[in-house]
Amino acid sequence: NELDSLRAKNAELERRLEEMDGHGGAAAAGAAAGAGAGSAAQEAQIKELQAKVDSQHSDYKKEKKKHKKAAAERDELQGKVAALGVELERAKRAAAVADGTVTTVVRVRPPAPNESGKTVVDVPNPSTVTVNGEAFNGFAFCAGPDLNNNIDASLEDLRPTARAVAQGFNSCVMTLGPMGGGKSHFCSAASKTLLGDVFKAVDEATRPGGRAQSFTPSYSITCVEVNCDGMFD
């Protein structure tokens, strides 16, 4: 507003200067000189104000860029903290396996190509599942259909249970779900992965200097499929 006012005054001075130039005479010349001096002063003030406006606009753009970068860094840190929280809870559960802990994981399989309809199951975070908006939690881990390799992700919390076989514990993997829910598919992947972990655990236990140097291990992993068509996929 101040800048516009100064520009208006400057325009008025220039108009008067032109009028005085038309009248001639010493008085007119003196007035013109005064008007010219006033016009120059106004122009200098306008330039000074314009420079301040440009400087403030530049500072604003710099601050906006800083805030945008800080927001991106904050989001990245929040993601890392969430991932570390999952790993921490997973480590705690692994430490408790020796006490005969039962570990429950949820895997929401991706829809098949020929399937369509309303999606009623959601995984808002790694320990909660919602069905038609109702939340169920208390699970060791929940793998949503959008998680890459969600079978492998689900198995991570079951692997400590399999390794406990070398310490004399029984290990059983039970899958519960409807027809076509992916039980056999999961058990097939689980048996290969978990048996590999068992072999490694037994090998470490029977090495020279290991916990049990001389014994004949006898172990098995049981996979049980329980069909429940009343469940949602």
Is 143 part of a structural domain of the chain? yes
3-state secondary structure of 99: helix
pLDDT of residue 22: 59
Together in a domain, 25 and 81: yes
Of 68, 89, 110, at which residue does a domain stop?
A: 89
pLDDT of residue 19: 67
> Which backbone phi and psi does 169 adopt, to 5 degrees?
-90, 150
Single-letter code of the amino acid located at 68: K
Of 42, 59, 89, at which residue does a domain stop?
A: 89
pLDDT of residue 53: 77
CATH number at residue 136: 3.40.850.10
140 and 91 in contact (C-beta within 8 Å)? no
Together in a domain, 140 and 196: yes
* Higher local confidence (pLDDT), 60 or 197: 197
pLDDT of residue 103: 81
In this predicted model, what pLDDT tens digit does every residue of 211-231 receive, in sequence order?
A: 555 556 666 677 888 888 776
Compute the average pLDDT of residues 43-52: 81
For the chain, percent of residues with pLDDT exceeding 90? 0
* 63, pLDDT greater than 60: yes
Together in a domain, 60 and 130: no
Taking the C-alpha atoms of residue 61 and residue 57, their distance in angstroms, rounded to an integer, is 6
Together in a domain, 122 and 150: yes
pLDDT of residue 176: 87
Together in a domain, 150 and 215: yes
Is 94 part of a structural domain of the chain? no
Together in a domain, 32 and 69: yes
Dihedral angle over CA of 189, 187, 145, 226, nearest 10: 180
Together in a domain, 171 and 192: yes
Together in a domain, 82 and 53: yes
136 and 129 in contact (C-beta within 8 Å)? yes
Is 192 part of a structural domain of the chain? yes
* Higher local confidence (pLDDT), 168 or 75: 75
CA angle 117, 124, 115 (to 5 degrees): 20
* Higher local confidence (pLDDT), 133 or 20: 133
Helices (H), the chain: 2-23, 25-96, 150-155, 159-163, 183-206
Taking the C-alpha atoms of residue 100 and residue 79, their distance in angstroms, rounded to an integer, is 32
Together in a domain, 85 and 109: no
pLDDT of residue 50: 82
Sorted by sequence, the CB contacts under 8 Å of residue 118 that are 6+ apart come out as none
- 0.75 exceeded by pTM: no
Residue 38, domain extent: 2-89
Together in a domain, 198 and 128: yes
DSSP-assigned letters across all residues of 196-212: HHHHHHHHHHHSTTSS-
**Contacts within 8 Å (CB) and 24+ apart, 162-165:** 162/194, 162/195, 162/197, 162/198, 162/201, 162/221, 163/97, 163/197, 163/198, 163/200, 163/201, 164/97, 164/98, 164/201, 165/198, 165/201, 165/202, 165/219, 165/221
In this predicted model, what pLDDT tens digit does every residue of 184-216 receive, in sequence order?
A: 888 888 888 888 888 888 787 777 665 555 556
For the chain, percent of residues with pLDDT exceeding 70? 77
Is 232 part of a structural domain of the chain? no
Say how many domains are in the chain: 2
Taking the C-alpha atoms of residue 109 and residue 27, their distance in angstroms, rounded to an integer, is 95
pLDDT of residue 23: 56
In this predicted model, what pLDDT tens digit does every residue of 98-154 receive, in sequence order?
A: 555 678 888 888 777 787 777 788 888 888 889 888 888 878 888 888 776 778 888
Together in a domain, 49 and 145: no
Is 223 part of a structural domain of the chain? yes
Together in a domain, 106 and 178: yes
* Higher local confidence (pLDDT), 175 or 138: 175
Residue 11 pLDDT level (bands cut at 50, 70, 90)? confident
